[in-house]
Chain A
Amino acid sequence: MSVISVVNASKSFGDVEALSCVTLSVGEGEFYGLFGPNGAGKTTLLRIMTGQLEADSGSGITAGIPWDEPLAIKRAIGIVPEAETPPTFLTARETMELVCKIREVEDPEAKVDRWLDFFEMEEKEGVLCRDLSKGQRQKVMLAAAFIHEPRVLLLDEPFINLDPIYQRRLREYLRLLIEEGRTVFMCTHILEIAEKLCTRVAVIDEGRIVGEGALDEVMAPVGGNLEDAFMRMVEAA
């Protein structure tokens, strides 16, 4: 059953066509990776799928909810946006508390403590997000996306700025989510990580999907290497 479905989605910004008739589908329990060169349309697609942007044409569902209900989509999913932008003047703990309050999370204190512990941020919990390092801010963004334990997660470069320890910890957590039957849609440039996690992948270039399939199928023609498969699809496009 598809929890994410994109049908002929197009989007332009002025004269620039960011997406052109994109169609894809993600089943429940899948770890779906979307790759593409810079400016290919990954973030635009993710923003449309998460209710942040409206498509010019086409339709779709995210977490089983049609795109014309953006608030319901945002309620149902967890989002890690491209830029790590937690509120400047709130502390790490306050940011998570705010998200718990907005999302009406039960037992918020325990949840906040859990995620502060997960990212070993206890010592930083009272520091303003403005004064945190980029990696620490990214941890706050990740915690804010996971704290309500959504069934569907859409992540834009979630590993960016994380050190290897937390990259591994995050990888293991995401794998656990898939084992629990949750769905993850991820845009990334880090193909090594994607290779370890994704069950299905798609490549987007100049706003068009230029290749899609199960990870094994995509890598098979080039001898089991995602980077080579990616290069081949982009060059062929």
Chain B
Amino acid sequence: MPLDTDLYIFKSMMLEEWRLHKSFQGAVGSHLFPLVIFLFSAFIALVSPIILTNIDVPRILLILHAAAFSYGIFVGAMGYIGEHAMTRRLGQVNMLLQMPQIYPVGFRRMMAIFFLKDAVYYILYSIIPLMAGIAVGAPFAGVTILSVARLGITVFLTFMTGMGVSFLVSAVAVSSRDAAACLGLLILFLASLIWPFEAIEASWLLLPLGYWDAYHPLYLLSSAIVATVLSVGAVLMMKERFETPQRTHSEMLGPALRMFSDLGGLGTLLAKEWVELRRSGTLAPVVTGYIAPLVSIYAIVWIFGEGIGIPLCFNAVSYGGFVGFLGVTVYSWVTNLESNEFLNAQPVTIYQVIKAKLVLYFLLTTVVSAGYVVSIAVANGQMNILPLALLASFSNNVYVAAVIARLTGLWTNTMLFDAKVLSKFAGAVVPPLVTILFASFMLPSHSSLATQIVVAVSALLLLVSVPIFKSVRGRWRGTPFSFVTT
């Protein structure tokens, strides 16, 4: 196939990616994203002499490169997971990557172009704005432009390594999911050797980071080779033809129906949701997607306290508020399991399905959030405020579910990209969350007042949730299950 055809496919894929972004974020959001990154990084670079006094340069570099590597992993994974997610949500989705099925284009060639497209697109869309922002702010922090240029190169190489790893795992997953899972576990094991076990230096695995130890170009060359080998290896490992085996599955709906039989008609829909959650392999991502931000918050608090030297007054109640708020990610997942188009032909209403999703949401979030809050209270020796923390967690959990169900129904993923819906959501959930957070910060100094505020806000949230839940039925009455299809 001639090079100009490859180039044409590359351009078409770039256009496809851009339109895909626009369909999710809207034209304004898509255009503004690089600008936001630029302004944010410029701001952080400008104020870094003030806020990063207690954190040394190697640690800043480690955080930056770990973030670039994770971002590379995410971008690479989206090529593989993203289409599955979209197909599940929107029905049949045909991307250019699927062309080899019926057109005379090799799948490996398409994968290579796809990889390049992802690399170029996300470098232009996010890495370059990030580095440009740092370049603008860095001179004010006493950092030379040469250092920023070096940083750009090492961040770029780290990002490419992350993408290469992600593509390699995806390529292995096409042949064997078990092998891909083993590979994923190996990567997690290696990462754990860096942190928390601190058994090896991060630069042993993230070669671009090693450059900052010795300033030797060999590190750059070797990391470029590693990134290339990973990505070329991934492309070569892709099969030109693969098929989905038609496996027989054992009955799962019957036991699920029995499990939820006490709930009557709601139990039937809940059983369907439960089977879909299990069979789609979504249970693990849902729980991980819920826990990951909680761990991130813990990490941020740790960085502020240990790294920057500004200890945040986070306690079990603060975490309780957050854990409730983050339940929105779980609701988003459970509404993204299946398109529900089939239910158009059945005598069920949107409201009944939303109720089933909400029960599933509470089943998933209650255990995890309670476990998290109890762990934090035990770890910090704050058992005295555990009941208050559990109340803050539960009330936020209930309230967020009511608001999100009312605002987005069964289409959370798509509708939260609507600026109006997002601002309504933020307007409804951020003020009580912030109030609880501030009250929790006051606990050590004004225990009685802070407790009263947390209890009052939590009670108010629970009370307000009742009419909101009741209004969900009216809000979505008459809406077809295929309300959002594109």
Contacts and interface: CB of A to CB of B under 8 A. Distances in A.
Nearest to A85: B341
A74 B253 contact: no
Interface stretch (A22-30, A94-102, A196-204): A94-102
Interface string A101-145: 111000000000000000000001011100110000000010011
A81 to B, nearest CB: 5
B345 A83 contact: no
B279 A101 contact: no
A127 B246 CA distance: 7
B254, B275, B342, B478: residue with the most chain A Cβ atoms closer than 10 Å: B342
Contacts of B338: 87-89
A186 to B, nearest CB: 15
A124 B250 CA distance: 12
A93 interface: yes
B480 A87 contact: no
A145 B254 CA distance: 20
Contacts of A87: 272, 276, 338, 342
B244 interface: yes
A82 B430 CA distance: 43
Contact of A86 (B257, B265, B342): B342
B269 to A, nearest CB: 8
Contact of B248 (A47, A79, A98, A127): A127
Given A83-B91, A93-B251, A71 B347 contact: yes
A21 interface: no
A54 B280 CA distance: 33
A103 B344 contact: no
B339 interface: yes
Interface residues of B, number: 37
Given A85-B91, A103-B347, A98 B478 contact: no
B344 A81 contact: yes
Contacts of A126: 248-251
A124 B247 CA distance: 9
A53 B253 CA distance: 29
A52 interface: yes
B231 interface: no
B88 interface: yes
Contacts of A81: 341, 344-345
Contacts of A59: none
B346 A103 contact: yes
Contacts of B482: 52
A90 interface: yes
A5 interface: no
Contact of B253 (A86, A97, A127): A97
B393 interface: no
B246 A90 contact: no
Contacts of A85: 91, 339, 341-342
Nearest to A145: B345
Contacts of B268: 98, 101-102
Contacts of B480: 47, 52-53
A89 B337 CA distance: 9
B252 to A, nearest CB: 7
A58 interface: no
A145 B347 CA distance: 11
Contacts of B252: 94
A131 B275 contact: no
A128 B347 contact: no
A80 interface: yes
A146 to B, nearest CB: 12
B348 A83 contact: no
B375 interface: no
Could you say which of A91, A93, A99 has the most chain B C-beta atoms within 10 Å of its C-beta?
A91
Interface of B: 88, 91, 244-254, 257, 265, 268-269, 271-272, 275-276, 279-280, 337-339, 341-342, 344-349, 478, 480, 482
30 contacts: A53-B480, A74-B345, A85-B339, A85-B341, A87-B272, A87-B276, A87-B338, A87-B342, A88-B338, A89-B276, A90-B275, A91-B248, A91-B251, A91-B253, A93-B251, A94-B251, A94-B252, A94-B253, A98-B268, A98-B272, A102-B265, A102-B269, A102-B347, A103-B346, A126-B249, A127-B246, A127-B249, A128-B279, A141-B345, A144-B345
Given A85-B342, A98-B271, A128-B247, 18 more contacts: A52-B482, A71-B348, A79-B344, A79-B345, A81-B341, A85-B339, A86-B342, A87-B338, A90-B272, A90-B276, A90-B279, A94-B252, A94-B254, A101-B268, A103-B346, A127-B249, A144-B345, A145-B345
